[in-house]
């Protein structure tokens, strides 16, 4: 057996937008074990729920993450609405769905750009982020903000979007789709990309399921698990099939996200076609009492928001289980046996969001 | 819009490991382990999902500072939740496959995050720690 050495990876590393530290136990160039450390951006956001009005807390819930911000806010609202048994107006439900899918589009485009950057494919990185700008423009024009939208509230949404504007978004997505086709052709078919990602960081279907993987990491290992299938928001009235790949490697995770771009565009089209007229919010009176687990499919995978309330304006407990947190054990399993030079790409393949994971 | 059924079952601490193993054998995925302090007691909830998205929660209620068994023999990845519960709530989890010993969250200030350090911190010491943290 070779002599083992430990190489620290992170918390500051060119491939990591956020701080994650991994102690890599190496034998020569090969990773034999990985020990993660987190805590560099732990903000104690869950604890804040004890000091903020439950209606105002949606602004904090959104700030758990700068990329999945809208879906965090929406899932928190779902949890509170579940406790209070509120039936949100259908138009608000559809608007939430449109904004959720726009969030997925910009997140996946962001990640594809980061992946290209991690491989040294700079022009591809810029192409992905150029397309992402169009999606951010749509979010800004409909909510007033690019990153933290502030559009969701308990009982509905804060902004209506005219049918004309929704049509404009759909027309714009038509053009965006052509650009995304060119972009994803490179990720899916380019030999150098395939060579860099194939057979790397492999998770079998059983491993992914047993280790609690979520989102594209789980689907890339052959499990057709997508929380949108549970029918939250307007997804019970829209048609889609989860994107599934079976190889379980970095390439499969890339292909899943690339194909999901088009699923999102299709879902937005369906939602705009079916969005009903009517109010966008409802009057919410009183305080919640009870508990509720709400789940949504974020771009990185399943997120769980749990709230417990005792009838006062402050919640007793707010708990968030983010996809990155549950994807950490699968990442450790996927890294065993890889070469040191492959570590950045494999880490990136789960689309880690440490701000989310630590809250 | 559909809402998921809230299937929460409270069980005895002694039944935890057999029930968790039963979920494992049934092919369920461990979705999350959560802890909440309710009326001075710790509610620890183990959430599972089957392949048809059926969401089930098993709950134990234990007093502060209690010792609970690790479910990592059944679910290897559970160590992230159990270390978090240890660090944030001061519960002892026995038999974890990866035990960070109170340093899962690598925060500069051990208290209140590191349960192992918390009994040694006096009010005055805590104040000094907070001041040092702010000064830094």
Tell me which chain B residues have a C-beta less than 8 angstroms from the C-beta of A317: 36-38
pLDDT of residue A323: 92
**Residue B39 three-state SS:** coil
Among residues A58, A8, A48, A18, the alpha carbon closest in space to that of A357 is found at: A18
Paired residues of B45 in beta bridges? B34, B59
Cis omega before residue A4 (within 30°)? no
Distance of alpha carbon A354 from alpha carbon A357, whole angstroms: 5
Chain B: closest CA distance from residue A210 (Å): 6
**A329 part of contact set with chain B, CB < 8 Å:** yes
CATH of A40-336, one of 1.10.645.10, 3.10.129.10, 1.10.260.40, 2.60.40.4070: 1.10.645.10
Q: A230–B36: do the CB atoms touch at under 8 Å?
A: no
CB contact A302 to B (< 8 Å): yes
Q: Which residues contact A279 (CB under 8 A, 6 or more apart)?
A: A89, A91, A92, A156
What is the reported pLDDT for B119? 41
Both tokens of residue A303? 């997120």
Cβ neighbour number for residue A151 with a 10 Å cutoff: 26
To the question of pTM greater than 0.90 for the whole model, the response is: no
Residues in A closer than 8 angstroms to B53, CB to CB, are 225, 227, 229-230
Tell me what pLDDT residue B118 has: 41
A225 lies within 8 A of chain B by CB: yes
In sequence order, what DSSP letters do the residues of B16-33 get, joined into one string?
HHHHHHHHHHTTPEEEEE
Question: Where do the structural domains in chain A lie, given as residue ranges?
Answer: 40-336
Of A38, A93, A330, the CB nearest to B106: A38
H/E run at residue B80: helix B79-89
Chain B positions touching A225 (Cβ under 8 A) are: 51, 53
How many Å apart are CA A271 and CA A161, to the nearest integer?
13
Confidence of residue A132 (pLDDT cuts 50, 70, 90): very high
Alpha-carbon gap: A90 to the closest alpha carbon of chain B (Å):
8
- pLDDT category, B116, cuts 50, 70, 90? very low
Residues A124 and A112: their CA atoms lie apart, in Å, by: 9
Q: Which residues of A touch B27 (CB under 8 A)?
A: 209
Contact A37 B106 (CB under 8 A): yes
CB contact under 8 A, A230 and B4: yes
Domains annotated for chain B, with CATH where assigned, are 7-105 (3.30.460.80)
Chain B residues touching residue A227 (CB < 8 angstroms): 53
ipTM of this complex: 0.87
SS3 B14: helix
CB pair distance less than 8 Å for B30 and A227: no
pLDDT level of residue A82 (50, 70, 90 thresholds): very high
- Closest chain B CA to residue A333: B77
Longest dimension (CA), chain B: 53
pLDDT, tens digit, 9 for 90 and up, residues A345-354: 898 888 887 7
Distance from CA of B84 to the nearest CA of A (A): 10
**Per-residue confidence at B122, pLDDT binned at 50, 70, 90?**
low
């Amino acid at each position: 057996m070779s002599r083992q050495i430990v190489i620290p990876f992170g918390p500051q590393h060119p491939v990591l937008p956020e701080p994650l530290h991994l102690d890599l136990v190496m034998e020569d160039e090969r990773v034999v074990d990985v020990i993660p450390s987190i805590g560099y951006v732990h903000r104690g956001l869950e604890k804040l729920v004890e000091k903020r009005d439950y209606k105002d807390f949606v602004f904090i819930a959104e700030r758990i993450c700068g990329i999945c911000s809208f879906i965090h806010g929406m899932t928190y609202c779902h949890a509170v609405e579940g406790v209070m048994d509120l039936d949100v107006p259908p138009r608000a439900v559809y608007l939430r769905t449109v904004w959720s899918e726009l969030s997925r589009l910009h997140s996946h485009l962001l990640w594809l750009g980061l992946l290209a950057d991690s491989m040294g494919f700079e022009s591809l990185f810029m192409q992905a982020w150029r397309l992402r700008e169009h999606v951010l423009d749509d979010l800004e024009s409909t909510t007033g903000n690019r990153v933290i939208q502030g559009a969701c509230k308990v009982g509905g949404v804060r902004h209506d979007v005219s049918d004309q504007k929704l049509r404009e978004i759909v027309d714009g997505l038509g053009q965006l789709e052509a650009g995304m086709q060119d972009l994803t052709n490179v990720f899916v078919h380019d030999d150098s990309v395939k060579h860099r990602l194939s057979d790397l960081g492999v998770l079998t279907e059983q491993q992914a399921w047993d280790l609690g993987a979520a989102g594209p990491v789980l689907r890339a290992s052959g499990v057709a698990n997508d929380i949108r299938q549970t029918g939250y928001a307007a997804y019970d009235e829209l048609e889609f099939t989860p994107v599934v790949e079976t190889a379980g490697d970095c390439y499969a995770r890339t292909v899943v996200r690339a194909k999901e771009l088009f699923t999102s565009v299709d879902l937005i089209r369906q939602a705009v076609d079916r969005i009903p007229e009517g109010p966008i919010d409802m009057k919410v009176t009183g305080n919640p009492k009870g508990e509720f687990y709400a789940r949504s499919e974020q771009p990185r995978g399943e997120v769980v928001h749990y709230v417990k309330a005792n009838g006062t304006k402050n919640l007793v407990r707010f708990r968030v289980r983010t996809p990155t947190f549950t994807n950490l054990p699968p990442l450790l399993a996927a890294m065993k046996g890889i070469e040191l030079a492959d570590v950045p790409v494999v880490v990136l393949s789960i689309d880690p969001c440490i701000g989310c994971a630590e809250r | 819009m559909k809402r998921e059924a809230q299937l929460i079952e409270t069980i005895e601490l002694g039944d935890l490991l057999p029930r968790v193993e039963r979920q494992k054998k049934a092919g369920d995925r461990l979705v999350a382990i959560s802890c909440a302090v309710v009326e001075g007691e710790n509610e620890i909830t183990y959430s599972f999902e089957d392949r048809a998205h059926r969401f089930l929660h098993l709950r134990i209620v234990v007093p502060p500072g209690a010792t609970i068994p690790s479910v990592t023999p059944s679910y290897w990845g559970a160590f992230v939740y159990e270390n978090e519960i240890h660090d944030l709530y001061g519960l002892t989890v026995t038999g974890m496959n990866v035990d960070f010993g109170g340093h899962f969250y690598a925060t500069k200030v051990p208290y209140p995050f590191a349960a192992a350090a918390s009994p040694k911190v006096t009010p005055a010491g805590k104040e000094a720690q907070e001041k040092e943290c702010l000064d830094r």
